[in-house]
A and B are shown apart, each in its own frame.
Chain A
Amino acid sequence: MGKILSKIGWNLFILMLRVVGQRKPVAENIYNFLKLKDETISIDNFMLTFFVFGVLAVYIYYPFKLENLRIKTTKKDEHLKEVLKEFRTVFSKTLGKEVKQHELKLNVRKFTPMPFYKKPIKYWFKTEKKYFVVKNYDFLSDNTSNNDYTFQVSPVPRGLVGLVYKNKAMTYDDKISERKSEYNLNHSHLNNNVIANTDFVLAKPFVDKSGNVKYIITFDTEQNIEIPKDENDRKKIEKTMIYYSDLFGNLLNNLN
């Protein structure tokens, strides 16, 4: 609250400088109040000084302030990226240990709703078809060649992204390339081998208070992963997946 009040005060101060610099009756009142008549400064120079400071306050102060803010945000993002990079390694190693794939390296991706202007114009006003588009992070993925991949999520749920969107439940598949036919993939997905080489995918939806899926985080690998059949082992692995996917989702959401 204090910060907001100080910002309002600063903006009023700038306004006052410019008013005094531009409106002679106001300037004269202040000039007389400060008893500057006997001093060497004339009313015109007095007004010019206020006007110059008023302009400087806007055109010099704010660019510096905004640049400073940009640097701070970039620094925060850099730190967050380092943390996420480490968590990717730790998650890969933890899961790799549990599924006996010690060299496991997971690719982390985020899927977000496709904005209307990215759709072909004929679909701009057709809201019944919803698409999610991939957002790759080069520091979280070894393979970012799929930058343009999109999945229709409604009405036809395509891919694991579509399935997760529809069911609003975290889902994993260790035989995804073998189950291609059940994922409603379209010709573009099949021709581009979107999931042909992928062996394992974990996808988690992040749902807002109204029950809408805001974004989906996926973890995938081409390395062979076999989830154990034993229920206790599986539960342990699932708990690990819940924990890390939650962590990634929250951290990635804070990345600009």
Chain B
Amino acid sequence: MANELNESKLSKNQETKLYTRIIAILTEYIQEKDYSSDPNKVTKIVYAGDLLNEDNLVKKKTKDGEVYYEVK
């Protein structure tokens, strides 16, 4: 694909149009795809800000005495 792009020497404008088209196609595909039906995929997505807050973290200690945080 990249070779084809290089060989045909697309102008910046044509390249942008091409990428916009690719993005549109892929976005449409993503919106239609139902990930929940595929049990082999990790589909759980978490925002670190929701995870790393005081209510969710517990303080732990290693054998060497180092204190660290772990999510409950």
Residues of A at the B interface (CB closer than 8 Å) are: 82-83, 85-86, 89-90, 93-94, 97, 155-157, 160, 163, 166-176, 179, 182-184, 204-207, 227, 234, 238-243, 246
Bound CA span A166–B42, Å: 14
In the complex, the answer to whether A175 meets B49 with C-beta atoms within 8 Å is yes
B5-57 interface (Cβ within 8 A of A): 19, 22-23, 26-27, 29-31, 33, 35, 41-49, 51-52, 57
Q: Quick check: B66 and A172 within 8 Å, CB to CB?
A: no
Q: Specify which chain B residues have a CB less than 8 angstroms from the CB of A163 in the assembled complex.
A: 48, 51-52, 71
- Of the residues B2, B26, B35, contact of A94 by C-beta under 8 Å: B26
Contact residue among B23, B30, B42, B47 (Cβ-Cβ distance under 8 Å from A172): B47
Verify B62–A82 contact, CB threshold 8 A: no
User: Shortest CB–CB separation between residue B20 and chain A, in angstroms?
Assistant: 8
Instruction: Specify the main secondary structure of chain B where it touches its partner.
Output: mixed
Indicate if the CB atoms of B51 and A155 lie closer than 8 Å: no
Q: Hey, which chain B residues are within 8 Å of A90, CB to CB? A: 19, 22-23, 26
Report A-chain residues with C-beta under 8 Å of the C-beta of B19. Answer: 89-90, 93
Q: Across the interface, do B45 and A170 meet the contact criterion of CB distance under 8 Å?
A: yes
Contact of A207 among B3, B35, B42 (CB under 8 A): B42
Whole-angstrom CA separation of A240 from B22 in the bound complex = 14
CB neighbours (8 Å) of B41 from chain A are 242, 246
Residues of B with C-beta under 8 A to A97? 23
What residues on A are CB-neighbors of B3 within 8 Å?
Answer: 82
Query: Which residue in chain A gives the minimum CB-CB distance to B44?
Result: A169
CA–CA, A163 to B46, complex, Å? 11
> Are A169 and B1 touching (Cβ within 8 A)?
no
CB distance from B18 to the nearest CB of A (A): 10
Q: 9 closest Cβ contacts across the A-B interface?
A: A173-B48, A182-B52, A82-B2, A169-B44, A243-B30, A184-B68, A170-B45, A156-B68, A171-B46
**A157, closest chain B residue (CB):** B70
Bound-complex Cα distance A241 to B22 (A): 16
4 additional A-B pairs beyond A169-B46, A170-B44, A182-B57, beta carbons within 8 Å, are A90-B19, A163-B48, A170-B46, A184-B68
**Which of A94, A156, A175, A241 is in CB contact (< 8 Å) with B66?**
A156
Partner of A205, one of B42, B49, B52: B42
Measured CB to CB, the closest approach of chain A to B45, in angstroms, equals: 5
Nearest residue (CB) in A for B23 is: A94
Please give, as numbers and ranges, the residues of chain B lying within 8 Å of A206 by CB-CB distance: 42
Docked Cα-Cα span, A27 to B68, in Å, equals 76
Tell whether, in the assembled complex, residue B2 and residue A85 are in contact, meaning their CB atoms are under 8 Å apart: yes
With contact pairs A166-B70, A205-B42 given, residues A86 and B47 touching in the complex (Cβ less than 8 Å): no
**Contact assessment for B71 and A166 in the assembled complex, using a CB-CB cutoff below 8 Å:** yes
Complex CA gap A170/B35 in Å reads 14
**Contact at A240–B30, with CB atoms within 8 Å?**
yes
Give the residue name and chain of the B residue nearest to A82 (CB).
B2
Contact A93 B47 (CB under 8 A): no
The answer for the CA separation of A10 and B45 in the assembled complex, in Å, is 52
Alpha-carbon separation in the docked complex, A173 to B48 (Å): 5
* Interchain residue pairs with CB less than 8 A apart (12): A86-B2, A89-B19, A156-B68, A163-B52, A163-B71, A169-B42, A169-B44, A175-B49, A182-B57, A204-B42, A227-B47, A243-B33
